[in-house]
Amino acid sequence: MFNIEPFYDPHTFTLTYVVFDPDSKDAVVIDPVLDYDPLSSVTSTESIEKVAAFIEHKKLALRWVLETHAHADHLSASAWLKTRYPGSKVAIGERITAVQETFKAVFGMPESFPTDGSQFDKLLSDGEVLRAGTLEIQSIATPGHTPACLTFQVGDAVFTGDALFMDDYGTGRCDFPKGSADDLYTSVHDKLYALPDATRVFVGHDYQPGNREVKWETTIGASKERNPQLRQSTQREDFVKRRTTRDASLQAPRLLYPSVQVNIDAGRLPQEASNGIRYLRVPLNLRKPTNADGTKRG
């Protein structure tokens, strides 16, 4: 037996979940948010404090913090939780190493920055079962949005991160480095849609199409029937073409560069410089290199 408590961050449209056994009090947190204001470049803990208050109110024992992937739209509060709850650990998909290698180069990070995933306590493989006290969490590799994306299955519930959203919205984008619309089709159509129709789906974001109220739960059956981007009947070629075309029209996520460099380091903020200040790295004109005066290079 387990319960699920959702927390919604309206600034990043992110859903964080506390999954817990009400009898044993064992718990995991999935995709926690550390607040960040890009205008003032200030972090805060309002969102994660709400999660912590719930954990403490219910007297839960936090065993694991689970990341579905290295997020590009919010900073992770996994390091904050690990500090707040000694003994808890952080896990992510084993292909995070590919994401680390890619973005180490993008951000010009120091050679000493490891790309072996060692910042995390556990790298999970496809099909691996993680035990958190009385809870059992199965990892389902669902790459496409990023190569490291995992869906977590607990009993009759799956937590799909950015692979599969609400049945009236669609799927995650696939235009980040090493993302793949073809891989996402396989992940959703061939793997998630192979689960029983009654399987509950808990999404990583809700963008509230039509300004409807926030939702976070649907089913595999509803998604197969109604998802506007990828249904059971959708052909691979059609999905890949439409997903790729749509992605080409999208702006980069507002917090892409701050988020990724923190999240590939397991939620740790950058080390202090010699002046005691922490600095984020933001690449300038990454896709359109310029000269020092701003004119186009070449």
Inter-CA distances, 139 with 30, 148, 226, Å: 13, 11, 25
Residue entry with tokens 């460099």? 261
Residue 225 — very low, low, confident or very high, per pLDDT cuts 50/70/90? very high
Q: How far apart are CA 193 and CA 189, in angstroms?
A: 5
Dihedral over Cα of 89, 203, 99, 48: its sign: negative
Average pLDDT of span 74-85: 98
The answer to whether the beta carbons of residues 175 and 185 sit under 8 Å apart is no
Average pLDDT of span 196-201: 98
Average pLDDT of span 274-291: 92
Q: What does the pLDDT read at residue 31?
A: 98
The answer to whether the beta carbons of residues 103 and 264 sit under 8 Å apart is yes
Domain borders along the chain are 3-263
Distance of CA 168 to the CA centre of its chain: 20
Residue 174 tokens, joined: 């696939």
pLDDT single digits (tens) 2-52:
999 999 999 999 999 999 999 999 999 999 999 999 999 999 999 999 999
Q: How far apart are CA 258 and CA 75, in angstroms?
A: 7
Name the average pLDDT for the chain: 97
pLDDT single digits (tens) 229-261:
999 999 999 999 999 999 999 999 999 999 999
For domain 3-263, give the CATH number: 3.60.15.10
Residue 69 has pLDDT above 80, yes or no: yes
Residue 268 — very low, low, confident or very high, per pLDDT cuts 50/70/90? very high
Return the H-helix or E-strand segment holding 62.
strand 61-66
Q: What does the pLDDT read at residue 102?
A: 95
pLDDT > 70 in the chain, percent: 100
Which residues lie closer than 8 Å to 19 by C-beta, 6 or more apart? 2, 3, 4, 27, 28, 29, 30, 135, 137, 154, 157, 159
Residue 164 tokens, joined: 């599969």
212 burial via Cβ count (<10 Å: 0-12, 13-18, 19+): exposed
Q: What does the pLDDT read at residue 256?
A: 94
Residue 298 has pLDDT above 80, yes or no: no
| DSSP bridge partners of 123 | 92
Using alpha carbons, select from 213, 205, 210 the residue that is nearest to residue 173: 205
194 burial via Cβ count (<10 Å: 0-12, 13-18, 19+): exposed
